[in-house]
Amino acid sequence: MIPAVDLKFLHSPSSVAVIGASDDSDKIGGRPIAFMRRFGYRGTIFPVNPTRATVQGLHAYPNIASLPFVPDAVIVALPGQDAVNAVDECARLGVKGGVVMASGFSETGRAEDEERQRDLVARARAGGMRLVGPNSQGLANFGTGAILSFSTMFVEQEPLDGPIGIVSQSGAMCSVPYGLLRRRGLGVRYVHGTGNDADLGVGDLAAAVLADPEIRLLLLYLEDIRDCSSLECAARMAIERDVPIVAMMGGRSAGGRRAASSHTGALANEQRVVDAFFSRVGIWRARTLTGMVDTAALYLQDWRPRGRRLAIVSNSGAICVLAADAAADNDLSLATFQTQTTQALEEVLPPFATKVNPIDITAALLTDSSLFGKVLPILAADSGVDAAFIGIPVSGKGYDFPQFASDTAEFANKDNKPVVVAVPQARVADEFQAKGLVVFDDEASALTALGQYLHHRELRQRVREAAPLPPRNIWSGESRVLSEAAALTLLREAGIPSADVRLCTSAEEAEAAFADLGQVPTAVKGCPRESTHKSELGLVKLDLCTSLQVREAAQELLDLMERLGLEADGILVTPMVKGVREALIGAHVDSVFGPVILVGAGGKYVEALDDVRALIPPFTVDDAREAIQSLRVASLLAEVRGEPAADIEAWARAAVALGQLMIADPSLRSVDVNPLMIGAATGEPSFGALAVDAVVERFDPTVCCVPT
């Protein structure tokens, strides 16, 4: 794994020069100076401006060379070639890091601008200087006051240092989450807009933020992933330090990808592979801004939940109903109370209140304010309750809601069970918030956030226990298709059970093979050296039952391949296999993420059904099983209409083996096993999973063999 870059010179520089410094604190070259002075930066600020003696009251320098000493960091607030020249000079002088704010580089898509960006990076690297940008809003660290950023949001929304970091390819998408978090009263330390990621990218800056032990939550915004190694490194640090990362990636839709391409020239990552990568490294992918910021307050709690079994308590029956619906929407189960819990609830609640989950305290709360305080400790004592939802839709006058808030807070603190609260009245919500509780307007928002928090926690636990990702060895270049015989042999040797296939070169050999196999019905298939779509060419003969049929079919196929001019290994004789279901497993090498394994519904309609999940190897049988069970076809894998359940374990094992094969052999470009016949989980057919047909493409080592 790439070690995290030490970026102290950008996060905590002892001195910062602003090249193109402006006296106007609303200009790009003026704002960072104003921000640093206002937000407590204790290092030295050097305004560089050849036309002024002072800038914002500070002594200004005509150029970089005239500074009394070489600064740790520079902000380059100059356009185009001037920015390149400034970076060149800084790099020569030994400046460690710089932020280049100017746009008009590779994001325009014009060749000359791309060339200028390459030049910019080359000059910085020549002097060992690291760059953020170009086209960057800049970096902000409210821990040290080093605000190398011109974000308008810092003018509008007073900062508060806190345990959250934001790293974003887009300036707007670091300012907006920042603004929303601050509106929720949460403190944020790092607000980094990385821009074109020409040198330092989102992954590097994420790792640098994670190196700060006070950071407890990291939010990312991305439009593409060109190099996943630095992101993987950051994700690994986050797992080790138990810091959740929530990422939003624009371009989920075709329209979004088009827009991203014209915004930042973003590459079109395959979305399901991105999902697989995030999941493999423990990053939660948020689909909306709400999903990114709404759960923040939960991540900052010291909760230690053991599962997802939820207790629901409300003074409204309707909220109990809606919370149960929202729990189901978010894959949270309703806790089944222990007997002593129900008995204890019987004792404290009035007769018409509900004592099973959800607990409807009813309007009795209006007359007896102690009911919350009586019910919650009972739930706290129930080891079958992992988390709680408290819904108080109506309160206020006549209700002792400060007491409810205290009771809820006591419950939450007692044994660190997660508690989310839904209170639509601002005045009442404030009371709960003041007690440190996490409050939402409604049950759906509360339980969506809780669901994300609990599922993400489980994901991170799985990643913590998972094998590390191996180095990616991504080949490219020419490739060729293996014959089916070679492909099935390769799979068998990799531990993926494959159909018993006999390669024959004559009708007589085929007849002998049939006799030796001794199973009917049998299939005979042509085996051209570069096998592709055999059925379409008429190279598959099925349901053969006699020696004569096999011999005739074999001869026919040999003749046909000769007529078609296909170079062939011969013909294959194989017993026909009938499983409970047809599945597929596949693999390909993604140019960014390396080997990717697919599991899905098999058969001829694979593309139309699009019922496929991706996994990044290595992964476990558990991971594969979970992916398989999230397929739409999953409902047909259980016992259905008297047919036995399919052997999902065998399918999962085959997928794991394929993952190991792809890691072990970087010369493999793609593997497509369809159908993978799945036998019965118990009973007949008991063969587990069997590769019946396979197409394997291999990079030609004599031609390319170029790891990238």
Say whether residue 433 binds a second copy (CB under 8 A): no
Nearer to a second copy, 230 or 316 (CB): 316
Taking CB under 8 A as the criterion, the residue among 443, 511, 582, 697 binding a second copy is 443
Nearer to a second copy, 320 or 421 (CB): 320
What tokens does 305 get? 């939940």
DSSP character at residue 469: P
Say whether residue 26 binds a second copy (CB under 8 A): yes
What tokens does 583 get? 């599945």
Say whether residue 320 binds a second copy (CB under 8 A): yes
Nearer to a second copy, 151 or 498 (CB): 151
Residues 6+ apart with CB under 8 A from 240: none
At its nearest, how many Å lie between a second copy and the CB of residue 248?
Answer: 8
Find out whether 199 and 122 touch, Cβ atoms under 8 Å.
Answer: no
How far apart CA 429 and CA 451 sit, in angstroms, is 21
Nearer to a second copy, 142 or 619 (CB): 142
Say whether residue 623 binds a second copy (CB under 8 A): no
At its nearest, how many Å lie between a second copy and the CB of residue 17?
Answer: 24
At its nearest, how many Å lie between a second copy and the CB of residue 292?
Answer: 10
- Footprint of a second copy on residues 563-582 (CB under 8 A)? none
Nearer to a second copy, 444 or 512 (CB): 444
What tokens does 257 get? 């990808």
Task: Give the number of other CB atoms < 10 A from CB of residue 398.
Answer: 11
Find out whether 354 and 278 touch, Cβ atoms under 8 Å.
Answer: no
Taking CB under 8 A as the criterion, the residue among 187, 256, 402, 685 binding a second copy is 256
Say whether residue 636 binds a second copy (CB under 8 A): yes
Nearer to a second copy, 358 or 526 (CB): 358
Residue 21: closest CA among 13, 31, 10, 30: 30
Residues counted in the chain:
708
How far apart CA 30 and CA 238 sit, in angstroms, is 35
- Footprint of a second copy on residues 400-429 (CB under 8 A)? 424-427
How far apart CA 104 and CA 111 sit, in angstroms, is 11
Say whether residue 537 binds a second copy (CB under 8 A): no
Point out which residues pair with 314 in neighbouring strands. Answer: 360, 391
Reduced to 3 states (helix: H, G, I; strand: E, B; else coil), residue 426 is helix
Tell me which residue has tokens 């349901």.
543
Helices within 282-414 (DSSP H only):
289-293, 296-299, 317-329, 339-348, 364-367, 371-380, 401-414
Residues 6+ apart with CB under 8 A from 40: 144, 145
Taking CB under 8 A as the criterion, the residue among 151, 479, 549, 670 binding a second copy is 151
How far apart CA 196 and CA 199 sit, in angstroms, is 8
Taking CB under 8 A as the criterion, the residue among 329, 478, 530, 562 binding a second copy is 329
What tokens does 417 get? 């069970």
Taking CB under 8 A as the criterion, the residue among 2, 70, 267, 321 binding a second copy is 321
DSSP character at residue 304: -
Nearer to a second copy, 318 or 564 (CB): 318
Amino acid at residue number 114: E
Taking CB under 8 A as the criterion, the residue among 4, 99, 153, 503 binding a second copy is 153
What tokens does 148 get? 């190398």
Q: Say if residue 666 is preceded by a cis peptide, omega within 30 of 0.
A: no
- Footprint of a second copy on residues 339-378 (CB under 8 A)? 352, 354, 356, 358, 360, 363
Residue 514: closest CA among 556, 553, 547, 558: 547
The residue count for binding a second copy (CB under 8 A) is 91
How far apart CA 689 and CA 677 sit, in angstroms, is 5
What tokens does 571 get? 């013909």
Say whether residue 259 binds a second copy (CB under 8 A): yes
At its nearest, how many Å lie between a second copy and the CB of residue 410?
Answer: 25
How far apart CA 435 and CA 420 sit, in angstroms, is 13
Residues 6+ apart with CB under 8 A from 339: none
Say whether residue 108 binds a second copy (CB under 8 A): yes
Nearer to a second copy, 93 or 444 (CB): 444
Output phi, psi for 535, to 5 deg: -60, -45
At its nearest, how many Å lie between a second copy and the CB of residue 49?
Answer: 20
How far apart CA 39 and CA 47 sit, in angstroms, is 17
Find out whether 522 and 512 touch, Cβ atoms under 8 Å.
Answer: no
Annotate each residue in 603-622 with x if it binds a second copy (CB under 8 A) or - if it does not, as one string.
-xx-xxxx------------
Annotate each residue in 272-311 with x if it binds a second copy (CB under 8 A) or - if it does not, as one string.
---------------xxxx---------------------
Say whether residue 59 binds a second copy (CB under 8 A): no
Residue span binding a second copy (CB under 8 A) among the ranges 14-22, 236-244, 394-402, 404-412: 394-402
At its nearest, how many Å lie between a second copy and the CB of residue 152?
Answer: 5
At its nearest, how many Å lie between a second copy and the CB of residue 3?
Answer: 30
At its nearest, how many Å lie between a second copy and the CB of residue 319?
Answer: 6
Find out whether 280 and 239 touch, Cβ atoms under 8 Å.
Answer: no
At its nearest, how many Å lie between a second copy and the CB of residue 143?
Answer: 23
At its nearest, how many Å lie between a second copy and the CB of residue 96?
Answer: 28
Taking CB under 8 A as the criterion, the residue among 54, 253, 343, 630 binding a second copy is 253
Say whether residue 209 binds a second copy (CB under 8 A): no
Taking CB under 8 A as the criterion, the residue among 122, 126, 160, 328 binding a second copy is 328
Say whether residue 667 binds a second copy (CB under 8 A): no
Say whether residue 255 binds a second copy (CB under 8 A): yes
Q: Residue 503: enclosing H or E segment and its boundaries? A: strand 502-504
Nearer to a second copy, 304 or 578 (CB): 578
Annotate each residue in 163-192 with x if it binds a second copy (CB under 8 A) or - if it does not, as one string.
-----xxxxxx-xx--xx--x---------
